[in-house]
A and B are shown apart, each in its own frame.
Chain A
Amino acid sequence: MIPFDYQPAENAEGAVATVARAPEATFLGGGTNLVDHMKLGLARPSLLVDVTTLPLDRIETLPDGGVRIGAGVRNSDAAAHPTIRERYPALAEALLSGASGQLRNLATTGGNLLQRTRCVYFQDVTTPCNKREPGSGCSALGGYTRYHAILGASSDCVAVHPSDMAVAMAALDAVVQVTGPGGQRDIPVVDLHRLPGDQPHRDTVLSHGDLITAVDLPPAPASRHSRYRKVRDRASYAFALVSVAAALDIEDGDVRAARVAFGGVSHKPWRARRAEDVLVEGPPTESTFWDAAEAELSDAEPLRGNEFKVPLARNTLVSVLREIVSEQR
């Protein structure tokens, strides 16, 4: 780790201006990913601007009935918040399935979205990695792929995004509020993260100096009937092999709205629009669930060593949908 300067932020605009000015500066949130990366030599900032000092630690109800979660809200506080639990149970479940109690007390909403892949090669500076060092090659291809992508990968990168929270947010149509050098803007969570393509070093569409200030959750009846299911190698405290966030709005025996996203399968939280299309406007039957999973996963391209993720994703989705329906009966 190289020496760095530390500055507590006084206001969002000032923090953005400071970081935007200095190419080697970055924001510090809960630190649970950044400090990790600085120790491993993956991140080498010369200036940290601490944004946990900003008043971004509130959860508020919006005029339209949605909810705004400040970027500085700790994962544990978001998961424990009565409004989140009641209106967006999948989000609370996703938050609670991430990391550990101690880490959730540190990790922030903004930091969780921006955490980087846990690909073992990305995290090891002694192995080539296009995400860490563009052009050096992808070591995961032909290597250890258990935690790697089956959807949307490229020949340059097969890493997955590790967040649970972001998967639920993607399914729930959450929108990220960003303050950047050029002002404020909104980015739907589904558009925040990128597929790797030939630029795997770029995880998101954000530019240097962009600061996430909040995440807005829209009001939606289906959200109340949402679930998050995480399948992993340990019963707890492990990253997802596959996870599913799903919400169904069922009226008069038919699915009126469906929202589905997968985690652990792609470089970004994978919104499963094709599966949603199959589910909508029909009765929620077992065979529809299988069809929906099939529709989404027919293009899956597993790697040697993670073929099991295709049936796992399929089965997990069906299992979650089954559960949601049985709860609504």
Chain B
Amino acid sequence: MDAEITLRVDGRPRQCTVDTRTTLLDTLREHLGVSAPKKGCDHGQCGSCTVLLDGRRVTTCLAFAVAQNGAEITTAEGLAGDGEHPMQRAFLDHDGFQCGFCTPGQICSAVGMVDEARAGWPSAVTPDVAGSVDIDDLDDAEIRERMSGNLCRCGAYVNIVSAIREAAR
């Protein structure tokens, strides 16, 4: 069963007809030619398909596109704008990737995560969830925990953490 939807993807309005079964990830990749989000597991278990959906980091493999009609989506490609986002520059400076497959998801996740920390959200390793949290509390342990939804099989975690640490400043 088909549905007509409109999305705003990386700043551009995009219309398409999708099968209701089509995930947001497949809509982006197979219908709209937006291949920055990657399919690593298709079950929300790896984070490679992460984008910013209305400003928040989400996996796109577990969302039906039809339920996201009207959403604003920013992928790693869109984050770059005409050049590169500071988070992307930090990943380059720190060699925060190897094969690059998880990288667009890592970067979207990192941008979303830093926003969450700025908004004062605690994490599972925040010593006192009842206390206030701000961006200065974002130490390595916090970054590691908050970025654990993005698997990297090449093992670039150490460099990802140092990249985010720098970009979050």
Do A and B interact directly, with beta carbons closer than 8 Å?
A: yes
Select the stretch in B9-17, B78-86, B91-99, B120-128 that faces chain A.
Answer: B120-128
Select the stretch in A89-97, A155-163, A298-306 that faces chain B.
Answer: A89-97
How many Å from the CB of A237 to the closest CB on chain B?
A: 4
1/0 per residue, CB under 8 A from B, across A96-109: the answer is 11011111011000
Q: Is the CB of A6 within 8 A of B148?
A: no
The distance in angstroms between the C-alpha atoms of A4 and B3, with both chains bound, is 11
Q: Is the CB of A80 within 8 A of B67?
A: no
Tally inter-chain residue pairs, CB-CB below 8 A.
123
Asked if A1 is an interface residue, CB under 8 A from chain B, the answer is: yes
Asked if A36 is an interface residue, CB under 8 A from chain B, the answer is: yes
Asked if B19 is an interface residue, CB under 8 A from chain A, the answer is: yes
* A39 and B42 in contact, given A3-B20, A80-B119, A97-B124 (Cβ under 8 angstroms): yes
How many Å from the CB of A43 to the closest CB on chain B?
A: 12
The interface residues of chain A lying within 8 Å CB-to-CB of B109 are 101-102
The interface residues of chain B lying within 8 Å CB-to-CB of A178 are none
B1-30 contacts to A (CB < 8 Å): 1, 3, 19-21, 23
Asked if B165 is an interface residue, CB under 8 A from chain A, the answer is: no
The distance in angstroms between the C-alpha atoms of A65 and B135, with both chains bound, is 31
Q: Is the CB of A28 within 8 A of B67?
A: yes
Asked if B129 is an interface residue, CB under 8 A from chain A, the answer is: yes
Q: Is the CB of B1 within 8 A of A102?
A: no
1/0 per residue, CB under 8 A from B, across A20-39: the answer is 00000000101110011011
* A105 and B20 in contact, given A31-B63, A96-B124 (Cβ under 8 angstroms): no
Residue from B23, B58, B121 within 8 A of A102 (CB atoms)? B58
What count of chain A residues pass the 8 Å CB interface test? 39
Asked if A265 is an interface residue, CB under 8 A from chain B, the answer is: no
1/0 per residue, CB under 8 A from B, across A185-205: the answer is 000000000000000000000
1/0 per residue, CB under 8 A from B, across A102-119: the answer is 110110000000000000
The interface residues of chain A lying within 8 Å CB-to-CB of B44 are 32, 36, 99-100, 102-103
* A35 and B62 in contact, given A50-B67, A93-B129 (Cβ under 8 angstroms): yes
Which residue of B is nearest A35, CB measured? B62
Interface centre among B57, B66, B129 (most CB of A within 10 A): B129
DSSP majority for the B interface?
loop
Asked if B153 is an interface residue, CB under 8 A from chain A, the answer is: no
Asked if B74 is an interface residue, CB under 8 A from chain A, the answer is: no
* A101 and B146 in contact, given A36-B43, A80-B122 (Cβ under 8 angstroms): yes
Q: Is the CB of B67 within 8 A of A6?
A: yes
Which residue of B is nearest A123, CB measured? B43
Residue from B19, B57, B64, B119 within 8 A of A105 (CB atoms)? B57
Residue from A6, A79, A80 within 8 A of B3 (CB atoms)? A6
The interface residues of chain A lying within 8 Å CB-to-CB of B121 are 76, 79-80
The distance in angstroms between the C-alpha atoms of A96 and B149, with both chains bound, is 12
Asked if B103 is an interface residue, CB under 8 A from chain A, the answer is: no
Residue from B20, B47, B67, B124 within 8 A of A31 (CB atoms)? B67
Residue from B3, B57, B64 within 8 A of A28 (CB atoms)? B64
Q: Is the CB of A5 within 8 A of B123?
A: no
How many Å from the CB of B79 to the closest CB on chain A?
A: 16
Additional A-B contact list (6), CB under 8 Å, known A102-B50, A105-B57: A28-B67, A32-B44, A48-B20, A76-B116, A101-B146, A237-B151
